[in-house]
Structure 1
Amino acid sequence: MTVAQRRGRRIMMTPAEIDAFLAEQRTCRVATVSADGRPHLSALWFAWDGTSLWLYSITRSRRWAELRANPTIAVVVDAGEEYGELRGVELAGTVEFVGEAPRTGLPCPELEAPEQLFAAKNFGMESMPHDGRHAWMRLTPEAVTSWDFRKI
């Protein structure tokens, strides 16, 4: 269940604007929490399928270890330089780990569409190159907050 945005209705994006924005952006910022409660923020490429954000992470990263221990996550995708250009989307929820870890390319029907999206968007390729170091996480957001200061 997605939580509706309460504040900033004047500058919030429509669902179609959110879809278009997430489809065109490449980099997100992923917030995790360590076992001792310290926050950790890292940048990562992603793919958006209209429902879920697909994250392809190195399995030996701090981010991966923290999410395996506590799958609660917040992700921000933003753009703009000047105040009046700022726009973005925050997605929050719990990640699910999908497919083999690390991913070597074994058949996984659930990953066919996100891998095709990710490969086209980030590598300009039709199929996903697998390096045996990364694996997939899916965030189907429980809360989405957006802003587009160009609407002011």
Structure 2
Amino acid sequence: MTAPKQQRRSRRIAMTPDEVTAFLDSERTVRVATNGTNGPHATPLWYLWDGEFLWLTSLSRSQRWTDLMADPRIAAVVDAGHDDYSQLRGVEIRGTVEVVGEVPRTGEPNPDLARVEQAFADRYTAGHVVIDGRHAWLRLRPEKISSWDFRKIPQG
């Protein structure tokens, strides 16, 4: 896999790779933006970061899914610290998604999804893997990761 592009701006407040992972592990909601025929479409989702890919589960009969099947480019943002400017921090991941597993997911054995589904369940549903026949898995392959942590700005 090709490593994601390094951010060029605001490097002094960028998170290290370990900080990115810790941050993504601590937050719970990502906002994803897709390219639709009527323009951009932004929606919140739960996610799983495995250190290499951002895993998303999406309704397979949604505008988001339709957009991504026509154009797999996506931007995803996880951010925090909204109450205080000096606490703002976040990660933006841009790349493309690919479908992993059957659509919709019915539970067919899939070695690529076994660990992802359990980790997702441990994170969001008290360890219970939910396969409802309406969602399917998307794997976001990062092409560029940008991050910011305003806590790194010297306070005057």
> For the superposition of Structure 1 and Structure 2, which TM-score range results when normalised by the shorter chain?
over 0.9
- Partner Cα separation in structure 2 for residue 56 and residue 6 of structure 1: 30
Residue matched to 2:125: 123
TM norm structure 1: 0.96
- The 3-state SS of whatever aligns with 2:34 is strand
Partner of 1:76: 77
Deviations 1:24-43 (A, max 9, x none): 2110000001124x011000
> Does the 8 A contact of 1:75 with 1:90 survive in 2?
yes
* Number of aligned residue pairs: 150
| Aligned twin of 1:96 | 98
Segments of structure 1 that go 5 or more residues without pairing to the other structure are none
Query: What is the distance in 2 between the residues matched to 1:94 and 1:76?
Result: 14
**Identical columns (%):** 57
1:24 aligns with 2:26: yes
Partner Cα distance (2:126, 2:101) in 1 = 23
1:9-56 C-alpha deviation (Å, 9 max, x unpaired): 1110000000111112110000001124x0110000000111000000
Q: Would you identify which runs of 4 or more consecutive aligned residues in structure 1 move more than 6 Å?
A: none
Residues 22 and 48 in structure 1, CA contact (< 8 A), matched pair in contact too:
yes
User: With structure 2 as the length reference, what TM-score do the two structures score?
Assistant: 0.93
Pairing 1:99-110 to 2, within 5 Å after superposition: 99-110=101-112
